[in-house]
Amino acid sequence: MPLLELPSMESKPKQLHLFMFLLLLTNCLSSSAITLESSFPQQALPTKSGYLTVNSTTNSSIFYTFYEAQKPRTTLFETPILIWLQGGPGCSSMLGNFYELGPFRVSFSLRHNVEHLTLERNPGSWNHVFGLLFLDNPIGTGFSIASSPDEIPRNQHDVARHLFTATRKFVALDRLFENRPIYLTGESYAGKYVPAFGYYTLKKNEGLPKSRRLNLAGVAIGNGLTDPETQVGTHALSAYYSGLINEKQREKLEMLQKEAIRLTRSGNWSEATSARSRVLRTLTNMTGLATLYDFRRLKPYEDELVAKFLSNVEIKRALKARESISFDVCSDLVGKALHEDVMKSARYMVEFLVKNTKVLLYQGQCDLRDGVVSTEAWMKKMKWDRIGKFLEAERNVWRVNGELAGYMQKWENLSHVVVVNAGHLVPTDQAVNSQAMIEDWVLEKGLFATGLVKQKPSNIDSRR
């Protein structure tokens, strides 16, 4: 049920105008343009939000929104916190917040010929039993502030350093946050941020007194770009066997892939990134698909809804974001700063993490950019003495409330989940199932209950 209405002006029906806040279009204009607190549903406001300074000289800061657990299973002092990082490089985690896994999502409807943006409760929100923290990362992204372009990180080490500082500051905001287990999660280019942040944290923790460590408990990556050299080599085969291209097109695509791999191996980073873009552009052109993020979609994901929503000054004020920032879903400036980082691998960091904490890799099955085949290709290469056991483990059928939700394979600290009927943005496409997945993984039940590694394929049902 829509809880918030942003009426748009009628004049240009194809364009959404955020004009002002009115509650459900009632008692228009005359008396009270209803104040924000009453029109932005109270329960949709973050528990806390604002800025975490990462450079005390320049005041560059990471913007955050935090949503406390709706139905915590334990006292809040022990309730896990999930951190969400968007990809890009340079895309805002507000996309995750308001389009994927946050408690309320922006959607669009047409009523009485007027276009509306509405906020709707997300039945699969990831803050159902956990605290949920969105960070606009790196600085320069979304509502985050980079005091100068030179300060925007150009490599994963600097990204991780800022994330560590920001998260330490967040944890210090409230005694309630001090010791809670932290799980790093994210999607797409966060396939590098998440391992980099996790790796940095475990290394940094070693040299810190217990009170100043981050209580890292696991990392989860959705449709990640983690080992680009391996992943860029999989598009042609995967599209060919999906019936989307023919043999001749496959050969052409393979040539382009080889070029991207060659440039990566020779450390020609900028050219390697451009070569990967050529592969993806060519695949898009050959298939005529609306988006590689989901081969079923006739229209791309509508992430511009989030940009429209966040361009409203009342909303910025409610979120405690700097009002002068003109919000972009993805920052070109940050994209440029990390251009030479794109083809650099973060696989060695995942190899370190799987020996020291738990790791979940999940993908929507219909993604052609960073999908199942591309992830399995680098998992096979992992330097980890249990990888053979993992590869031999059975893939279990996973159901939620009796319905097929996907497949899962696990060995000790490494779990892999394929989410069926989902593309690149898994929580957008399968909200409830993605919630079941993340909760069961963190709490080690259902799918992830220890001792479930069977010789025989089994059917597992996560009852909600």
Ligand X SMILES: *[C@@H]1O[C@H](CO)[C@@H](O)[C@H](O)[C@H]1NC(C)=O
User: Site residues (CB under 6 A) for ligand X?
Assistant: 55, 57-59, 148, 150-151, 263, 268, 271, 285, 288, 355-358, 386, 412-413
Token representation of residue 56: 């005390």
Burial class (CB in 10 A: 0-12, 13-18, 19+), 286: middle
Q: Which is nearer to ligand X, 16 or 342 (CB)?
A: 342
277 among known catalytic residues:
no
Q: Would you say 161 and 61 are in contact if contact means Cβ atoms under 8 Å apart?
A: no
The sign of the CA dihedral 318, 323, 328, 332 is: negative
Active-site option among 136, 227, 303, 367? 367
Query: Strands 216-222 and 182-187: what pairing?
Result: parallel
Q: Which is nearer to ligand X, 45 or 382 (CB)?
A: 382
Q: Which is nearer to ligand X, 26 or 57 (CB)?
A: 57
Closest CA to 318 of 38, 3, 18: 38
- In DSSP notation, 141-183 reads STT-B-SSGGGS--SHHHHHHHHHHHHHHHHTT-GGGTT--EE
Minimum Å gap between C-beta 318 and ligand X is 22
The sign of the CA dihedral 300, 127, 458, 391 is: positive
At position 317, the amino acid (one-letter code) is: R
Opening angle at CA 73, ends 69 and 79, nearest 5:
55
Minimum Å gap between C-beta 270 and ligand X is 7
Closest CA to 417 of 403, 429, 399: 399
Cβ neighbours of residue 222 under 8 Å, at least 6 residues apart?
185, 186, 187, 188, 190, 362, 363, 364, 426, 427
Minimum Å gap between C-beta 133 and ligand X is 21
User: Angle, to 10 degrees, between the axis of helix 190-206 and the axis of helix 156-171?
Assistant: 70
31 among known catalytic residues:
no
Q: Which is nearer to ligand X, 58 or 107 (CB)?
A: 58
Q: Which is nearer to ligand X, 74 or 270 (CB)?
A: 270
Minimum Å gap between C-beta 28 and ligand X is 41
Q: Which is nearer to ligand X, 289 or 330 (CB)?
A: 289
Exposure string of 317-326, with b = 16+ CB inside 10 Å and e = fewer, is ebbbbeeeee
Q: Which is nearer to ligand X, 48 or 386 (CB)?
A: 386
Active-site option among 8, 188, 331, 374? 188
Minimum Å gap between C-beta 217 and ligand X is 8
Minimum Å gap between C-beta 358 and ligand X is 6
- In angstroms, the CA 360 to CA 441 distance is 8
Cβ neighbours of residue 275 under 8 Å, at least 6 residues apart?
256, 259, 260, 263
Minimum Å gap between C-beta 240 and ligand X is 18
Q: Which is nearer to ligand X, 150 or 206 (CB)?
A: 150
Minimum Å gap between C-beta 54 and ligand X is 6
**DSSP tag of 394:** P
367 among known catalytic residues:
yes
Phi, psi of 265 (to 5 degrees): -65, -30
Catalytic residues: 188, 367, 424
